[in-house]
Structure 1
Amino acid sequence: MEQSMIELTQKIDALTAQVAYLADQAQIAERQRQERAELMRDLMPIANDAFRLSVEQLEEIQEYVDLGDLLRLGKRLLRNGRNIDKMLDQLESMMDLAATMGPLANEGFAKAVDVMALMERKGYFAFAQGGLKIADNIVTSFSEDDVKHLGDNVVLILNVVKDMTQPEIMTFIRNTLMVAQGEIEKPVDTSLLALLGQMRDPAVRRGLALTMSVLRVIGSQANGK
């Protein structure tokens, strides 16, 4: 008798547990149903607005869009699915490359800005601006015939410049200018006796001899012309 009571009690407990489980499942199902209902209530206005906007937009373009065109476009997209996939892969690769090169490009740009700032401080840009102004003056000062004559004689001009820029010639011109600048500031005695006195200086006599030689060459060139 006691064993039967124990078994009956166990069955009642098991049945109670099953009923409680079913009640919990029913509550969960009810909550999910309510949540779905609330979600539908929230989504319906959005869906209605989206449908209304879609209809309005389609009405605006309906004269430009044909159902056959849409079908052909859809078929073409389906036929080129692999190509589109490859294109997307390439796009992703380009984006990865851009992400990799971005820091390098930023570093290079920053370095370029620093170099340009250094050049600005050293005066490169001011010098270039002055050079452009000089070039502009040259271009506006010479006619077409002048440029043609310069082109015909450019070799001779370069040879003259090359000869004039020899170290000994440049040193001679520089020393002469420095001495002349110093002598100009001094008082000069232009009397005949003073000039005759300077003739006793061997350096003066040599200078006169060189001057006369140069004048003789210039005169011969003028006569040859």
Structure 2
Amino acid sequence: MEAEITALNQKLDALMEQVAYLSEQARLAERERQARDELIETAMPIAKEALRLGSEQLEEIQEYIQPEELLRLFKKLLRHARQIETLLDQLDALYDLIETLTPVSKDVLMRLTEALQTLEDKGYFAFARGGVRIVDNIVTSFSEEDVNRLGDNIVLILNTVKDMTQPEILTFVRNTLLLAEEEVGKPVDISLFSLLRQLQDPAVRRGLALTLRVLHVIGHQAESKSNPVSAQD
């Protein structure tokens, strides 16, 4: 008798557990149903509005596009969904990169602006504009034949410039110009007696001799150019 009571209690306990489980499942199902009802109640106005707007937009373009074209486009979008997703991921990465580089680019732009302003204050741009004007004057002043002759004689010109820029030559020219600038304002006695007296100065005689030597060389070169045959003899 006692064993039968124990078995009956066990069955009652199992039955109560099943009833509790079924009650919990019913409660969960009711909660899910309420959530679906709330979602449908919330989504229906939105869906109706979306359908209305879609219908209005389709009415505006229905003469330009056919339903089969929309279907074909939709199928193509579905076929390339993975590529579209990859493209969107790349756009997100690009946007993140732009956000990262924006502060750096602002700093670089600010530094570049400051550097350009410094160059402008120092006159680099004004010098460049003047250089462009000089080049323009050169281009408009010389013909193609002049440029060709310049190219043929460029080595001789550079050698002449190199010789003229020797420190000794530049010092001599500078000292001569400074001395001439000082003496040009002084009174000059051009009488024969004054000239003869100046010839007694060794420096004057040396300068005169050097001048005559230079004149001799210039005259000899001019004679050689005018009489090439006799020069060869």
TM-score (norm 2): 0.72
Report the counterpart of residue 87 of structure 1 in structure 2.
87
Question: CA separation in 2, counterparts of 1:177 and 1:167?
Answer: 15
The reply to whether residue 116 of structure 1 matches residue 116 of structure 2 is: yes
Q: Structure 1: which 5+ residue stretches go unaligned?
A: 1-28
Percent identity reads 57
Corresponding residue pairs, total: 189
Report the counterpart of residue 160 of structure 2 in structure 1.
160
1:144-203 deviations in whole A, cap 9, x for unaligned? Answer: 111111111111111111111111111111111111111112122222222222212222
Report the counterpart of residue 97 of structure 2 in structure 1.
97
Root-mean-square deviation (Å): 2.7
Question: CA separation in 1, counterparts of 2:189 and 2:144?
Answer: 50
Amino acid at match of 1:180: A
Report the counterpart of residue 187 of structure 1 in structure 2.
187
Q: Structure 2: which 5+ residue stretches go unaligned?
A: 1-33, 226-233
Amino acid at match of 1:154: I
Question: CA separation in 1, counterparts of 2:98 and 2:201?
Answer: 81
Question: CA separation in 1, counterparts of 2:96 and 2:170?
Answer: 61
Q: For 1:1-225, what aligned pairs fall within 5 Å after superposition?
A: 54-225=54-225
Amino acid at match of 1:117: Q
Amino acid at match of 1:146: D
Q: Tell me the CA shift for residue 58 of structure 1.
A: 2.4
Question: CA separation in 1, counterparts of 2:186 and 2:51?
Answer: 103
Give 3-state SS (helix, strand or coil) of 2:174's partner: helix
Amino acid at match of 1:155: V
Question: CA separation in 2, counterparts of 1:148 and 1:160?
Answer: 19
Amino acid at match of 1:143: S
Give 3-state SS (helix, strand or coil) of 1:64's partner: coil
Q: Tell me the CA shift for residue 47 of structure 1.
A: 5.8
Question: CA separation in 2, counterparts of 1:184 and 1:53?
Answer: 98
120-129 vs 54-63, greater mean Cα deviation = 54-63
Amino acid at match of 1:179: L
